Amino acid sequence: PMMVHENTSPLETAFTVSVEAKGRTTTGISAHDRAATVAALLDPRSKPSDFVCPGHTFPLRAREGGVLVRAGQTEAAVDLAQLAGLYPAGVVCEILDDDGTMMRRPHLEAFAAEHGLKLITVTDLIAYRMAHEKLVERIATFELPTRFGDFTGYAYESKVDQACHVAMVMGDIGDGRDVPVRVHSECLTGDALGSRRCDCAAQRDAALQIIAKAGRGVFLYLHQEGRGIGLANKLRAYELQDSGADTVEANLKLGLPVDSREYGTGSQILADLGVREMKIITNNPRKIVGLEGYGLKMTGRIPLIIDGDEHNTEYLRAKKEKLGHLLERTS
């Protein structure tokens, strides 16, 4: 099981409960004991009963799709093993500098040279995989006239889960620099049914107006309903919110992550469209971090100015206070 239901770490590293190999370790602290636990974890024949918890080894869960979905060390370790034709698992170890802090790249390069080690970065691995494979495929191109202006639509299908994502492009992307971009997660209740429980429709309209005013830009609509938990779970969360829980508390009561969205798929779509540098239209700092790991440069942030009402005031408060959104109002 996961270590916590609400992962509030900045990088959302997916720690499970810590473990020890049963009957093969003593205190579990020594390098020998940890190696024995790692060997047991990597053995496909191992069962839950072969471990005790808590322990001194901390397993991590990699996202399906690897670094092209999440630009993390966990995914990089698994990707490297798979590229080498090995069992899809690895061991992640932080190297400490003389002052006790995590060793950074200049010292890592010297350390690697001294000990004859290969050195690779997550960015290198992303670049390699993006040059050799794709997680999305463009399946349709179509014209899309809207009340905000005329767009060209592009439909993409994920090779990981077959989800369909839509990109709306206005104007000429050109050299791909300083492109206004909105990455918008699907919201059936807000975008299609007019629900006032959230500000999704208001954000959608404000973003499209910003793009229309600029005369160019991309509105990317990702199939990530309910911050990635799916429509059914989002509606269950609504039921809990009706009983007094906020949007964060409701997810946790259901045993679901507060925000399980990933932006690797969106990054591949933007790259396919020719976007290289963007002015991201968002109030969510995590979205900026999520996109920057994929070779996309942020040249600025365009805030969405949204006023709440009596139906979504608590929702907006939770987004600001618990999810770190940078909310601005007109008044």
- Residue in 191, 252, 255 with CA at minimum distance from that of residue 222: 191
Q: What is the pLDDT of residues 131-144, one digit of tens each?
A: 788 889 999 999 99
150 catalytic residue (yes or no): no
Output the domain CATH number for residue 97: 3.90.870.10
Domain stop point among 99, 130, 161:
130
User: Would residue 277 count as lying in a domain?
Assistant: yes
Main-chain dihedrals φ then ψ at residue 190, nearest 5 degrees: -85, -50
**What pLDDT does 330 receive?**
44
Q: In the numeric block, which tokens belong to residue 21?
A: 């190999």
Low-confidence ranges of the chain (pLDDT < 50): 330-331
Q: Is 82 exposed, middle or buried (0-12, 13-18, 19+ CB in 10 A)?
A: middle
Q: Per the residue annotation, which of 172, 259, 276, 317 is the catalytic one?
A: 259
Domain boundary among 114, 130, 146: 130
Residue 55 belongs to some domain of the structure? yes
Spatial neighbors of 50 by CB under 8 A, at least 6 apart, are 21, 22, 40
- pLDDT recorded at residue 290: 61
Is residue 138 located within the same domain as residue 266? yes
Q: Which of 182, 204, 236, 261 is catalytic?
A: 261
238 domain residue, yes or no: no
- 80 and 175 share a domain? no
Residues 155, 100 within the same domain: no
Q: 204 in a domain, yes or no?
A: yes
Residue 9 included in any domain: no
pLDDT score of 148: 97
CATH number of the structural domain spanning residue 145: 3.40.50.10990
**Structure confidence at residue 317 (pLDDT):** 67
Same domain, yes or no: 125 and 158: no
| 114, 147: one domain | no
Structure tokens at 131: 């040059």
Q: Is residue 233 part of a domain?
A: no
User: What residues have CB less than 8 Å from 62, skipping those under 6 apart?
Assistant: 14, 70, 72, 74, 75, 77, 78, 88
Q: Which two tokens stand for residue 235?
A: 């509606």
pLDDT at 244: 86
Does residue 210 share a domain with residue 154? Answer: yes
Asked if residue 81 and residue 44 are part of one domain, the reply reads yes
The pTM for the full model equals: 0.65
Same-domain status, 23 and 162: no
Domain extent at residue 265: 134-224+261-323
Our count of domains for the chain comes to 2
Cis peptide before 88 (omega within 30 of 0): no
Whether 259 is catalytic: yes
| 251 lies in some domain | no
pLDDT tens readout for residues 236-269: 988 998 888 888 888 888 887 777 677 778 888 9
**256, part of any domain:** no
CA distances 240 to 3, 225, 228, 253, 324, Å, are 23, 17, 18, 8, 22
Predicted pLDDT of residue 315: 62
| Domain stop point among 95, 110, 130 | 130
Claim to verify: residue 283 and residue 148 sit in the same structural domain: yes
pLDDT score at 11: 63
* Helical ranges in the chain per DSSP H: 31-42, 73-83, 105-115, 122-132, 200-214, 231-241, 247-253, 264-272, 285-292, 313-323
The DSSP 8-state label assigned to residue 272 in this structure reads H
